[in-house]
Chains A and B, each alone.
Chain A
Amino acid sequence: MKWDISEMGSWTYGQFPPGAIIPEAGNSNDYITGGWRSERPWRDDATCTQCLLCWIVCPDSSINVADEKVTSFDLDHCKGCGICAQVCPVDAIEMVPEGCELPGVK
């Protein structure tokens, strides 16, 4: 079943499926979990060797890859754990406090 949860924030109690059932399979992508992050990853493309180690280890599948190359982070779901920065062999990823300007972004 397709389940539209876009207005869930304003649902009244009768609108939720009884028993807290989630009636749509595989919809966790729609559930934004990035809100609890206190630091966000920032990747320096010039240093990155595209080894994809960060993509393998990210516990939230939040490293976006296209054509076998890291393109960006999925900040809707990245929890800011810093594992990617920790494993990067060339220190291409830096953890930057949320709410601060990102390095290289003016």
Chain B
Amino acid sequence: MPEQKTLATTGNLVVAEAMRQCKPDVVAAYPITPQTTIVEEFAGFVAKGKTDCEYVTVESEHSAMSTCIGASAAGARVMTATSSQGLALMWEELHIASGMRLPIVMANANRALSAPINIHCDHGDIMGARDAGWVTYFAETAQEAYDNTIMALRVAEHPDVLLPAISALDGFITTHSIDRVCVMDDATVADFVGDYESASALLDTDDPVLHGSFSGLGGPFFEFKRQQREAMEGARAVIKEVGAEYSELSGRPFDVIETWGMEDAETAVVVIGSTAGNARHVARELRANGRKVGVVKVRVWRPFPYAELAAALKGLKAVAVLDRAESFGAEGGPLFTEVRGALYDLETRVPVVGYIYGLGGADVRLELIERVYDDLSDIAAGSAAPAGLVYLGAREEA
């Protein structure tokens, strides 16, 4: 196993480091809290000559992603980073990047969307991009943000995939907290990601091609969407292959979901992002008191690991899904509806309850998670599930 350096650093700084090590040809980005220190750090690498990447400063995220699309179509390896309103401003380009099958890799510092204005963590931004056709990794820690970014590039550029990919990390909690992170040396990462050879580069004048064509009524638009579906399905195997190879190299385990205590758990919490740590902490304490509880963390959100979740949650007496994003008018948050869907084909019905928590950076205190496990114990013991969605910790009328 190659030697690694252990750093005390933040999620953002280590994502910038991963970007530098992946040797992108072009980075076009616009700063936005709490992503700013990624692009700041990366701009520093450019200024100090630590990368020969073409760094394009643009006037908005709309232009950032447009530039990334142009550069990627030209045949370049392209990376960027954004957050919240910035991701929202990229909305139309997100779909264009995936439709044109451009393997752009973007970090997203998960942050609430306005209004009211708020700069803190929730998943409202990233969940809004869930249908944009991007492979999406979620980090719990700075370490995972680093590892996910590197793996995401390999997956995105894989000939069986050729889709853009997002490496998401929780705003402030993961982007700005000092964390212990092991980083690999430049040569090891460079070797792992390899070189990117576009099969249809616009700048290949010997073999000219056209990108950005039209497919109107009667044209094969429908068939192109089917291709994207196949590519996203194909990503499942590639994510696992690349993850296994990366695990071997780094010594850190990887799977699309991470389970804790699930061997004999009777109830479990399903969670995505940094709150997985809180959930494990509470679960560990409850287990010390003899409660058979588990945690399932979703690390890859797109393609959604429904088969893995069904296998992990099968036979449980009650499951809680924690959503840090709203889907107003839906039965629950985006993770809740996906998890419930994943369990539908099981022979025995698993009761699933949905919680919305931590919107706009609202604190996820340990007693809130404990309350979730208490609810699950009640349901497992035969009590009725909470009627409808629970806003965990929101001030409510008594």
Cβ-based interface call for B101 (8 A): yes
Binds A, one of B116-124, B166-174, B203-211: B203-211
Chain B residues 209 to 224 lying within 8 A of chain A, measured CB to CB, are 209-213, 215, 220, 222-224
A19: chain B residues at CB < 8 Å are 99-102, 162, 200, 211, 224
Cβ-based interface call for B231 (8 A): yes
Q: Are B220 and A18 in contact (CB under 8 A)?
A: no
Given contacts A16-B220, A19-B99, 9 further A-B contacts (CB under 8 A): A1-B207, A12-B223, A18-B101, A18-B162, A18-B227, A20-B215, A21-B213, A24-B209, A25-B210
Chain A interface, number of residues (Cβ within 8 angstroms): 16
Q: Are B223 and A21 in contact (CB under 8 A)?
A: no
**Separation of A20 and B211 alpha carbons in the complex (Å):** 7
Q: Are A16 and B227 in contact (CB under 8 A)?
A: yes
Cβ-based interface call for B365 (8 A): no
For B224, the closest partner residue in chain A by CB is A20
Q: Are A14 and B209 in contact (CB under 8 A)?
A: no
CB-based closest 10 A-B pairs: A19-B101, A13-B223, A25-B208, A22-B210, A13-B226, A19-B100, A20-B213, A18-B101, A21-B200, A23-B209
13 contacts between A and B (CB under 8 A): A1-B207, A13-B220, A13-B223, A16-B227, A17-B200, A18-B101, A18-B162, A19-B100, A19-B101, A20-B99, A20-B215, A21-B209, A22-B213
Question: A interface vs B, CB < 8 Å?
Answer: 1, 8, 11-14, 16-25
For B102, the closest partner residue in chain A by CB is A19
**B160, chain A: closest CB distance, angstroms:** 11
Most buried by A among B212, B227, B230: B227
* Secondary structure dominating the interface of B: loop
**B27, chain A: closest CB distance, angstroms:** 22
B207: chain A residues at CB < 8 Å are 1
For B214, the closest partner residue in chain A by CB is A20
For A17, the closest partner residue in chain B by CB is B200
For B208, the closest partner residue in chain A by CB is A25
Q: Are B224 and A16 in contact (CB under 8 A)?
A: yes
For A22, the closest partner residue in chain B by CB is B210
A11: chain B residues at CB < 8 Å are 220, 223
**B384, chain A: closest CB distance, angstroms:** 47
For A28, the closest partner residue in chain B by CB is B210
**Separation of A14 and B226 alpha carbons in the complex (Å):** 9
Q: Are B209 and A18 in contact (CB under 8 A)?
A: no
For A23, the closest partner residue in chain B by CB is B209
Q: Are B224 and A23 in contact (CB under 8 A)?
A: no
**Separation of A61 and B212 alpha carbons in the complex (Å):** 23
A17: chain B residues at CB < 8 Å are 200
Q: Are B224 and A21 in contact (CB under 8 A)?
A: no
B210: chain A residues at CB < 8 Å are 21-22, 25
For A18, the closest partner residue in chain B by CB is B101
B227: chain A residues at CB < 8 Å are 13-14, 16, 18
**B210, chain A: closest CB distance, angstroms:** 4
**Separation of A12 and B231 alpha carbons in the complex (Å):** 16
B102: chain A residues at CB < 8 Å are 19
**Separation of A16 and B226 alpha carbons in the complex (Å):** 11
**Separation of A24 and B208 alpha carbons in the complex (Å):** 7
**B230, chain A: closest CB distance, angstroms:** 8
Q: Are A16 and B223 in contact (CB under 8 A)?
A: yes
